[in-house]
Structure 1
Amino acid sequence: MRVREFAKTIDHTLLRPDATEKEIVRLCQEAVEHHFASVCVPPCYVRLAARELRGTDVKVGTVVSFPFGADVTRVKQAAVRDAISGGASEVDVVMNISRFLSGDFSYVAEELSSLTQEVSVVAMNNGLNDAVLKVIIETAYLTDEMKRLAVQMVAASGADFVKTSTGFGPAGASAKDVALLREEAPEGLAVKASGGISSLEQALEMLNAGASRLGMSRSVQVMKEAEDGGLQE
């Protein structure tokens, strides 16, 4: 894998509760410099990121119902509408983990389907052809059997990605989990690994396990490793 190709697997992420506007602007500048796939910013900074990234090859991403997934469906739908209307073309929504662990699978399935539909409708109304929905299932809370069931639900909903973690749970991404998700996911459903990826070695391990997108807050550090000889130019 070449450096430029690797850069396009990265969602450059800043979701700390103490992140400042100045840091969000710097995040966008770094993303443009390194040609990352997207930035992932808090919802309140979507419009700022959209202004900073206008005319570049970096997409604007944000999160919905982050990090617990416990908002009611209509709140998640409203958040999706606001995000896309504000300039986001990628939305990472947290599955309702509590409902899922309670066995209320029909609720979770219906919610995910409604959110996929919401993304499609709002994207069309805003002239976007490539809006993407990623569903975070927070693997650290799930058994392997439950991870497989969650992937099946995400796939049935029509979402574009199943994502491992928020980075705020008890553990982040692991290559083992990525491989399991990739094995269970149909061809049209991509896998995003996130949470605790802080080195080029870890990033490549996730990609080799089957991820096609990486959520990282230490993206610049990892890119420096890649550019300093870790990957081909």
Structure 2
Amino acid sequence: MDKKDILSRVDHTLLSQTATWEEIRRILDDGIKYGCASACIPACYVKQAAEYVDGKLPICTVIGFPNGYHTTATKIFETRDAVANGADEIDMVINIGFLKDKRYDEIEQEIRKIHEACSGKTLKVIIETCLLTDEEKIKMCEIVTNAGAEFIKTSTGFSTVGATFSDVELMRQYVGTNVKVKAAGGISSFADAEKFIELGADRLGTSRLVKIMKNA
């Protein structure tokens, strides 16, 4: 698999608390230059970014990020606001405490409501695999499939561990055929990226691959 094909699956990401518009603009420019799948940026920059790229690059943002314990109403508002501002893709974080409490119906209903608020835009559901048991990961594959989201995503990149090969393999095994897998967090080489894709990841969340290309 060549690097261009791998980059076409990358959500070029900058979500740090200190991110400035100048840094976001560079992410957008690089995302366009290297043919990335999207730029994943903080919600406060979505409107400015959408106007800046003018359709040349899909804009992705995060909802309930990074901890997931916002109320459902808050997440729905965030989603509607992001879409109104020009977001093409939404990456939401589940309520992990609810999962631990086995409040499965509430999690599924939240995903359904947020998916509806996306108004046809792509929804990716972040389950933060490093905090879950395998049983919980499998349950979330079932819930995300039933809720109708387009993607299940491993990680925020803000917890203890990012994506792992074993998690992507497990998710691909248990998620429905209509749901794609996004690996995010800690993807630091093209070799690792290719391995994630081979194991079933359709999308990769990272900034390092573009940096490798620029440094080369």
TM-score higher than 0.5? yes
Aligned residues: 216
SS at match of 1:4: helix
Q: Which runs of 5+ in 2 are unaligned?
A: none
Displacement after TM superposition at 1:224 (Å):
5.5
User: Match for residue 138 of structure 2?
Assistant: 148
User: Match for residue 35 of structure 1?
Assistant: 35
Residues 167 and 194, structure 1, Cα contact 8 Å, conserved in 2: yes
Amino acid at match of 1:2: D
Displacement after TM superposition at 1:4 (Å):
2.7
- Aligned-partner Cα distance in 1 for 2:156–2:90: 13
- After superposition, residues 67-216 of structure 1 pair within 5 angstroms as 67-120=66-119, 123=120, 131-216=121-206
Amino acid at match of 2:40: C
SS at match of 1:180: helix
Q: Which runs of 5+ in 1 are unaligned?
A: 124-130, 229-233
Aligned structure 1 segments of 4 or more residues deviating by more than 6 angstroms? none
Calculate the TM-score normalised by the size of structure 1.
0.89
Calculate the TM-score normalised by the size of structure 2.
0.96
Amino acid at match of 1:171: V
Residues 203 and 214, structure 1, Cα contact 8 Å, conserved in 2: yes
Identical amino acids, percent of aligned pairs? 40
SS at match of 2:118: helix
SS at match of 1:24: helix
SS at match of 1:70: coil
Q: 1:155 to 1:222 in 2, by over 3 A?
A: farther
- Aligned-partner Cα distance in 1 for 2:3–2:193: 13
- Aligned-partner Cα distance in 2 for 1:172–1:101: 20
Q: 1:116 to 1:55 in 2, by over 3 A?
A: closer
- Aligned-partner Cα distance in 2 for 1:177–1:186: 15
